Structures are given as structure tokens and as C-alpha cells.
Amino acid sequence: MVKEKVQNMARRKKKREKKNRFDFNSWSPGERWRKIMGAFVAAFSIYLSFAYISYATSWKVDQAQIYEFEWSHFLWGDLPMKNLTGRLGAILSHQMIYWGFGIPAIAFVILGLKYAYELWRGIQWYSTLRFTFYTLIVAAFSSVVFDFVFSNSPFPWGGAFGESMRIWLSNFLGDIGLFFLILTIVIAYFIWLFNPQLKPVSFQKWKNWLQAPEEVITEESNLPQDKTPKESHPDKSDATPDPEEEKQSSEETPVINRPLQQNKPENQSYEVDLETDSPHEEKDPDEEDDGLEVEISTEGVDVPEINVQEEDRGNINDLYDPTAELSHYKSPALDLLEQHDDSNISIDKEELEHKKKQIIKTLYNYKIEITKIRATIGPTVTLYEIVPAPGVRISKIKNLEDDIALSLSALGIRIIAPIPGRGTIGIEVPNKNKQIVSLREVLEDPKYDRAKMELPIAIGKDISNKVFIADLAKMPHLLIAGATGQGKSVGINTILMSLLYKKHPSQLKLVLVDPKKVELFPYSLLDKHFLASLPNNDEPIVTDTSQVVNTLASLCIEMDDRYDLLKKAHARNLKEYNNKFVSRKLNPKKGHKFLPYIVLVIDEFADLIMTAGKEIELPIGRLAQLARAVGIHLIIATQRPSVNIITGIIKANFPARLAFKVTSKVDSRTILDAGGADQLIGRGDMLFSSDSNLVRLQCAFVDTPEVELVLGHIQKQQGYSQPYLLPEYDSEAGDQPGEISVDELDEMFKDAARLVVQNQHGSTSMIQRKLKLGYNRAGRIMDQLEHFGITGANAGSKAREVLVQSTDELEHILESIEDQQNSTPY
């Protein structure tokens, strides 16, 4: 029995010894693989160190693209970064420094090199665990120290971890208590490492030290017990923030309630941390200026602009230049636009504090606690981001929208619960003093100037006071809605002016439809530069309803013709086709030509639907479904976003929506599929919906005199000899009797005739929809029905009169037509 116990104890002892001897070799596939893995770990650690170094200079530029980074974007082909180590290095350094430990994140590089050393040498692996634990502890502590010392710096010295821990400890102990806590930990760690022997120093040594410090230091350097006090003194001073530095930093911080400095860019974003009342808790506006630089440099995400000279460099002299005919054309100067004096942001600290307290008080009355509140000030709206306490339901805060609006005595309160990618709940509150966002300051922004988009439109500024640029070619169509006087017409002018400032007349053509006849008439000056119209059309701006139908039908023909050209050229889209044509890979003698983008703008779409109905809706639906690839894009605006105007066909083919203030929640859901547009404050305040993202913007303002100056500048320059002509289409030009032979009848003629007589409704759109035919073929069948007396002549936008009243009468006509076909000699 005793022998068995001894044997069992021996076996357990062997197991413990074996466990203690565990190293990487015990499960490694071999020494070579272990060393290869060590090489990869070392290389990655060195790569990470370069990423950290580059982050110190490029973090401001790259932050806008990766601040709300989604991993689904990681494999995008065009997401450039300024970081020398590319996209991966920028993301890793941002995650580890900004969202991690800050500068102490270098600990991960040290750990990586340590692991690589362990892999190469084959040393017992368990010894590294203790080193890892202590390294992470030191990194976490250093993160708090860095954030405490550099709390006013825009650079994330301590990262998100250091900031959160420093704020919590500062609220718990106060700044003085936190300082002594850090100092105590440093001293304790020093004593733990070196265990210094502190001995009393005689008065004579102090006297000698004061008189001859160099000799005393030299003498004392040989005594290890006296080394510690002299080395601990610098540590103590390093851990203490310099009061002069703090004073200088606070003096450099702009006063919170003074207007924006003139020497700073206009699209600066202000964020103010309102968690505490201490001055150092407020965000330095210089930090937000960094955010500005990030926003300016985040271009290149979109598809490059049509510039074939950069893409095909076989022989640059052989490339076709579409701008050669108007080679002297100059884009309008920004001096033609006005710079409004009240476009600078002024921040009233008292207003921020009052609204903050009201929000906290309202939430507290409903037993909702929050841990943090932060304000981001935009041109017309301030976004208050709150972090609720654990256990608080988001829906409970969302339901308090009206109560918060009442407590703040403000209209236009909107709650975003939660803010995507931020982990906070947003409360948008209108500013007491609203600023005008001028079109000039938006177009002056480098983000617009450097935009490499096909059709860039500068809509305005977002809630963070940053310029918002979108690509119409990527939308690919835009639906605009808003009540009267809320900025819809200004928004259309802003979009058109953005395109005119960016594109050459050879690259862009506009088709403008204005049933009101007074909104878009100034653009008639561009008939020899940017406008496209039907042949023999007296007015460059389409105003008559019948002409609208003809114009849409003509655009459908243009679309079909372009698809035929793309098919012959083996190109998938307009950009590929133009690239081939510019590089002279397509023969103009075979019908190929340079194809400009065509943008169709329709104002007061509701009026067209009321007067023309399906004659308008169906060709628009067809264009919206198919015209994107051939460079035809639609912008439709309406005052009435009701379901009978914005039908399912329209909504399905217009994924991008721009909503100004509307009168009801129903209209908001009709245009955006979500509420919020009824809570806007008007005067250009709008919501932009694209790809399931909802962004609140302030539309850039451009006045009519500014538009006329820009258009006059373009008109004075040399233009084309005639406007860009769309394919000819005349719905009133029917064939004369005898010109249609019975042998030329369409095979669907009889089915169309029975359909028209049964419904007693003669329209091309009905034939197109019911029989699933193209618009041109349905139009030919309608002409054949008119020729044989089944329907009357064209009545403009109204349906044709059906002359045959019964199916029996129709069958007699069809039998006579069939007899004529059988009697025709072949």
C-alpha cells in the first residue's frame, strides 16, 4: 500500500516536471517550421514598428477613413493611406495607438520580438508568459501616465485606454490625487526593482555638495546606496506635469465662445467634451483642426475621373482629346461666388452648458443615467453624444424625443439611437445662432478640388462642419423632396453649379425640365456649352408637358443607341468605352464617338405625374433601371413626396434620396423610408440617404445673382456651333394612309389591338407594360392601330381615342387585314 502511494507520488512528480519543461518544441511540427514562424513574427513586429513611426506623421490624414472603419471595407481595391506601411499598417497602428494604449503600444512590438527570439532559440515557452504579463501591466500604466501628462495634446499619447482610465481616476481622486498616485506607483516600482539602502546624509556632505557639486557627485558615484536618491529625482520631475507647459497649452486653446479664427480653414470641426466642468476636460479646437486635415486628404476612394491620358500611355500624342474643340474653355472662377460673413462658427459655452444640463436633467427625471456627454458643433445643429449607463435601454431614450425638445424649447430635435459605429446615442439640437454655408467655401475646400469622381457634387456640410462631397455617377440617380421654401431649388442650383465648376462641356450635358418655367430658365445661356435638347426645339429648357414626354422617349432612344455602341466596342460601361475611344481603339467611321455624361434634371415632378401619368413614369423607370452604365443619370425633385407621386417604381430605382423639411412623418417615410425629415428646421437643413446611411447636412447656399454671374462667364466663352442634339422623336408625326403595308404589321399587332379595345384606353405605355415591349416597338404598333382605324390620332399627353367599341367589330377588322395578307402575292 505504501509502495503504491510512493509510486503515485513519483508519477505525479514526473508529470509536474514534464509540465514545467513544456516548450514550443513539444507541439511544433519541426525546428525548421519553428524558425520560419519566428522569422515571420519578427518581420511583422518590425513592420508594426514602422507603422507606429509613420502613424506619428500620418494619423491626421488617415484618421477619417479608418475612424469608423468597417472590416467589410478592408479588401476594397481603392482605399489609399498616407501611412508608409499601407492600409494594414494604418489600421493596425490606429487600433493599437488611438483605440489602445497610445505610445506604450510599442509593447506589442517588444512582445513580438520576444516571441520571435523564443521561437528561434527554442527556450521554454512558459517563461515568456510572465514577461508578457508584466509588459502589458507596464504598458497600461504608462498609457495613463502619458495621457495625464499630455492631456491637452491632440495626439493620442495615451490612447483610448489611457484617456478613459485617466478620466475615471481624475473624477474619483481629483488631478492632485491622481498625480500622487502615479508618483507613488513609480517610487514603489523603483524600490521593488533596486531595493535602495537609504542612509542619512550629514550636513557637511550637503554643504560640500552645494559648494562643489561635481566633486561630490563624482565621489558619491562610487557609493551604490547614494545613487538612488539622485536618480529618483529626475523620475519625480518627469512624472509631474510642467505648470508652465499646462499654462502655455491652455493659452493656445481658443476661447470657446469666440468666432472661428480667420487664419484657420472654414470647415473646421468643433468637439467639446462636456463630461466635467474643469477646463482641461474640454476638447482643444486644435484637435478638431486635425480632424479637418483628415477630411481634406481622404480622397481617392472613388473611381478616378475620366482622364484617359493617365490610363493609356502607349503614345500620348496619338490620344484623342475630347476637349480640343473648346481647348480655350476655362472653368468659372470662385471669385464669382459670394463669401458670406456669417459663415464662421461661433460657440457659446453658456448655451452648450445650459443644453447639456437640460438633457441630463430630463433623462434623470425618467431615471436614465448617463456616463458621458459630448458636443459636436455644426453650422446649424449641435450633436450631443451621450453614453448611457449599463442596463439602460436605447428605446427608452428614443421615446423621450418630444420631452427633450420641450425641455430645450427647440424645434427640430432628432435622436439617433445608436449612432452607427460610434457606440453612442446622438441628440441633434438646433443652434441658437445658425451659420450660412456658402457654396464658395464648399468649392474652395481641397476635398472638392482634389475629388477624383466622375460627377462630383458638393452638397454642403455635415454635422461635424466638414464638407460633404458625393458622386452622382455612384448614386446613380437622386430623388429630392421637400416642402415649399425649405431649400429644394437652392439644392438643385448647388448640384448644377458643382458640376459646372468641375466638368468640361465635352464631358457633361444637361437636360433640364422645368414645368414651373421660372426656376431653371437662367441655364438657357448654356445651350451652346452644356445643354442637350431635341432637334428643332425652340427652347433649350423643356417646359411643355408634351415636350417632356418626347424628351424622355428621346433619351430612351439615346440609351439604346449607346448600349449598341458599347456592345460593338465590348465595353461594360461608359468609362471603358470612352477610354477605348480616346486611345483610338474604336473607329469613328463605324459610328463610334466620344460620349459625354448626360444628367437629366426634372423639377416639380409631381406636376408632370398629374398631367401625364404613366407616359412620364414608365420611361423614367426604364432610364433609372438601365441608363447608369451608359452615363445617363437622373435628378428628380418634387414638393409632394406622396405615395401616388413617389411610386414603388420610382423608389426602387432611386436609392439615393435627399429630403428637406417635409410637413408630416408620412412624407418623411415616403421619401426616406424612415422618419426625421419632418423634424428638420428648414433653410437648407436636410437628410441624405444612400446605401442605408442617413446623414444630416446643411445645404450650401448659392443665390440667383451668383448663378447668373457664373452662367454669364460660361456664355461669353466660345461654344459649340449647335447644342448637343438628342435622337429625333416626334410622337405627332404619324404615317400617312397607304404607307403601312399589311405585310409590315408587327406580330404583336393583334394582341395589342384586342388589349386596346378591351380596356378602351389607347396609350403606348399600356401596350409597353402589358405586352412587355420596348417603347419604340410599342409606338410603332400604336401607329399601325391608328392607320387601320382602331385608335384615333395622337392627342399629346392624353391617351388616344379608341374608335372600335366592341370586340366583334375588332374581329371583323382583323379578319379583313388577314385576308389582305393572304391575298398579297409573294
3-state secondary structure of 253: coil
| Overall number of domains in the chain | 4
pLDDT, mean of residues 779-795: 85
Q: Is residue 211 part of a domain?
A: no
pLDDT, mean of residues 432-445: 87
Non-local CB neighbours of 628 within 8 Å, separated by 6+ positions: 473, 476, 477
3-state secondary structure of 190: helix
* Domain identity same for 376 and 523: no
CA distance 240 to 238: 5
3-state secondary structure of 470: strand
pLDDT, mean of residues 267-276: 48
* Domain identity same for 695 and 809: no
For residue 707, name the pLDDT band (cuts at 50, 70, 90).
Answer: very high
pLDDT: is 773 or 261 the higher one? Answer: 773
Non-local CB neighbours of 418 within 8 Å, separated by 6+ positions: 394, 424, 425, 426
524-528 contacts: CB < 8 A, separation 24 or more? 525/711, 525/712, 525/714, 525/715, 526/500, 526/711, 526/714, 526/715, 527/723, 528/715, 528/719, 528/720, 528/721, 528/722, 528/723
Q: What is the pLDDT of residue 283?
A: 41
Q: What is the pLDDT of residue 197?
A: 63
Residue ranges making up the domain that contains 534: 470-553+596-718
Q: Is residue 677 part of a domain?
A: yes
Q: Is residue 126 part of a domain?
A: yes
Least confident stretch, 414-423, 429-438, 542-551, 780-789: 414-423
Q: What is the pLDDT of residue 530?
A: 93
Q: What is the pLDDT of residue 728?
A: 80
For residue 272, name the pLDDT band (cuts at 50, 70, 90).
Answer: low
pLDDT, mean of residues 550-573: 91
Q: What is the pTM of this model?
A: 0.54
**Among 146, 171, 195, where does a domain finish?**
195
- Top-ranked range on mean pLDDT: pick from 276-285, 398-407, 468-477: 468-477
Q: Is residue 628 part of a domain?
A: yes
Q: Is residue 25 part of a domain?
A: yes
Q: What is the pLDDT of residue 731?
A: 58
* Domain identity same for 61 and 148: yes
Find the angle CA(331)-CA(332)-CA(334) to the nearest 5 degrees: 125
Q: Would you say 152 and 250 are in contact if contact means Cβ atoms under 8 Å apart?
A: yes
Q: Would you say 791 and 782 are in contact if contact means Cβ atoms under 8 Å apart?
A: yes
pLDDT, mean of residues 500-521: 91
pLDDT: is 539 or 348 the higher one? Answer: 539
Find the angle CA(223)-CA(226)-CA(230) to the nearest 5 degrees: 130
Q: What is the pLDDT of residue 59?
A: 67
**Among 195, 214, 243, where does a domain finish?**
195
Instruction: Give residue-wise pLDDT tens across range 276-296.
Output: 333 333 344 343 333 323 333
- With a cut of 70, say whether residue 124 has pLDDT above it: no
* Domain identity same for 642 and 757: no
Q: Is residue 218 part of a domain?
A: no
- The CATH number of whichever domain residue 395 belongs to comes to 3.30.980.40
* Domain identity same for 684 and 538: yes
- With a cut of 70, say whether residue 269 has pLDDT above it: no
pLDDT, mean of residues 808-818: 84
End-to-end CA distance of the chain: 118
- With a cut of 50, say whether residue 254 has pLDDT above it: no
246-251 contacts: CB < 8 A, separation 24 or more? 246/152, 246/280, 249/152, 249/153, 249/284, 250/152, 250/279, 250/280
Helices 614-626 & 764-771 angle (0-180, nearest 10):
50
pLDDT: is 617 or 566 the higher one? Answer: 566
Instruction: Give residue-wise pLDDT tens across range 353-375.
Output: 888 888 888 888 888 888 888 88
Instruction: Give residue-wise pLDDT tens across range 652-670.
Output: 888 899 999 988 888 888 8
Q: What is the pLDDT of residue 633?
A: 94
Q: What is the pLDDT of residue 23?
A: 47
pLDDT, mean of residues 442-463: 89
Q: What is the dihedral of CA 698, 704, 709, 713, to 10 degrees?
A: 80
**Among 170, 195, 220, where does a domain finish?**
195
* Domain identity same for 748 and 714: no
- The CATH number of whichever domain residue 796 belongs to comes to 1.10.10.10
514-518 contacts: CB < 8 A, separation 24 or more? 514/541, 514/542, 514/543, 514/603, 514/604, 515/543, 515/545, 515/548, 515/603, 515/604, 515/607, 515/608, 516/603, 516/604, 516/607, 517/541, 517/543
- With a cut of 50, say whether residue 233 has pLDDT above it: no
Instruction: Give residue-wise pLDDT tens across range 73-100.
Output: 555 656 667 777 777 777 787 778 877 8
3-state secondary structure of 510: strand
pLDDT: is 189 or 216 the higher one? Answer: 189
* Domain identity same for 67 and 141: yes
For residue 67, name the pLDDT band (cuts at 50, 70, 90).
Answer: low
Q: Is residue 209 part of a domain?
A: no
The residue among 774, 678, 624, 214 whose CA lies nearest residue 483 is: 678
Q: For the chain, what percent of residues have pLDDT higher than 70?
A: 75
* Domain identity same for 666 and 756: no
* Domain identity same for 796 and 647: no
pLDDT, mean of residues 498-522: 91
Instruction: Give residue-wise pLDDT tens across range 304-335.
Output: 343 433 334 445 557 889 998 888 999 999 99
- Cβ-count burial 753-777 (b if 16+ within 10 Å, e if not): bebbbeeeebbbbbbbeeeebebeb
Q: What is the pLDDT of residue 208?
A: 55
Q: Is residue 320 part of a domain?
A: no
- Top-ranked range on mean pLDDT: pick from 65-79, 367-381, 407-421: 367-381
Q: What is the pLDDT of residue 79?
A: 63
Grid cell digits, residue 744: 409590315
pLDDT, mean of residues 29-45: 79
- The CATH number of whichever domain residue 534 belongs to comes to 3.40.50.300
Grid cell digits, residue 443: 468649392
* Domain identity same for 110 and 51: yes
* Domain identity same for 136 and 43: yes
Q: What is the pLDDT of residue 500?
A: 94
Q: Which amino acid does the sequence have at 587?
A: N
Q: What is the pLDDT of residue 472?
A: 92
For residue 456, name the pLDDT band (cuts at 50, 70, 90).
Answer: very high
- With a cut of 80, say whether residue 138 has pLDDT above it: yes
Least confident stretch, 82-96, 230-244, 675-689: 230-244
* Average of per-residue pLDDT values in the chain: 76
pLDDT, mean of residues 397-425: 81
* Domain identity same for 421 and 489: no
Instruction: Give residue-wise pLDDT tens across range 148-191.
Output: 888 777 778 888 888 888 888 888 888 888 888 888 888 887 77
